[in-house]
Amino acid sequence: MKRNLLFILFFVFSFTLIAQEVPELMEMKPEMTELWEPEVPVVTPGAKYGNAPSDAIILFDGTNLAEEWEGDRDSIPHWVVEDSIVTATRGGGIRTKRQFGDCQLHIEWRSPAEVKGTSQGRGNSGVFFHEKYEVQVLDNYENRTYRNGQAGSLYKQYAPLVNVCKEPGEWQTYDIIFNAPIFKDENTFLVPPRVTVLHNGVLVQNAVELRGPTEYIGVPEYTVKKHGKGSIYLQDHGNPVSYRNIWIREL
């Protein structure tokens, strides 16, 4: 009993001392929330909008397409390079030899100045991440199509917030942030892929979460299969869409 009483007295005495010190211990100072290490890495931005920053990987600067790209039918990218521009032909799509996970992609594209076709038959191509998740390329200047299949859409999943297409024959830009999926098991996302798109400097996709890979027919979540990093793929859809100034940053 005496031992218990002494313990209780000691506990009360200790708690009183701690309580008296709490205000002083809890007093915050500016330096207590300042983080100095590790230092933020320095990246030199491009001189103007669209120029690659110092840490970017140049995927196409107008020369030597075969250095970073290959065809989807064989190792040769059968697209035409002329005047620092690469144009889709009917030789199939092209994919990067390197593979990427989370990334920031800058790409500039142009639909043909001579307008042919309507809806999906006009200036159609696409930018795919991991060869699975498509940001649609299409001439939607005064060209109506289904909203989740127009330029800036995550094809058949998310329509763009706005249509900011320029006239046919004018250069347009996509700046895309792609966050790769994390898988729970073989056929289930733990964290779905997430995509942000700026089209001509305007936000058209705001960190949207994909249900699965791009599908022309069917529901995407039923075709999810576990995968790692993947290539950037540019689609040949039978229209002579041109590209230039392609660079990427690994995140």
What integer is the mean pLDDT of 40-53? 95
In a domain, 195, yes or no: yes
Q: 230 or 89, which is more confident?
A: 230
* Segment 170-178 mean pLDDT: 98
Is 85:244 a contact under the CB 8 Å cutoff? Answer: yes
193 token code pair:
């892929």
Question: Is residue 211 very low, low, confident or very high in pLDDT (cuts 50, 70, 90)?
Answer: very high
pLDDT in tens, 120-171: 989 999 999 999 999 999 999 999 999 999 999 999 999 999 999 999 999 9
CATH number of the domain where residue 62 is located: 2.60.120.560
Residue 52 in domain: no
Domain presence at residue 196: yes
Smallest CA-to-CA distance from 138 within 216, 214, 199 is with 199
pLDDT at 137: 98
Distance CA 88, CA 90 (A): 7
Give the chain's domain count. Answer: 1
Number of helical H runs and strand E runs in the chain:
1, 15
Using the structure block, give the residue that is written with the tokens 């792609």. Answer: 178
User: Average pLDDT for residues 2-30, to the nearest whole number?
Assistant: 56
Query: Average pLDDT, whole number, for the chain?
Result: 91
Within the chain, strands assigned E span 57-60, 69-71, 80-82, 85-87, 94-96, 103-110, 125-129, 133-137, 172-179, 182-185, 188-191, 194-199, 202-209, 232-234, 242-250
Does some domain include residue 83?
yes
| Residues 170, 143: Cα–Cα separation, whole Å | 15
Report whether pLDDT(6) > 60: no
Burial tier of 57 (Cβ tally within 10 Å: 0-12, 13-18, 19+): middle
Domain that holds residue 90: 57-250
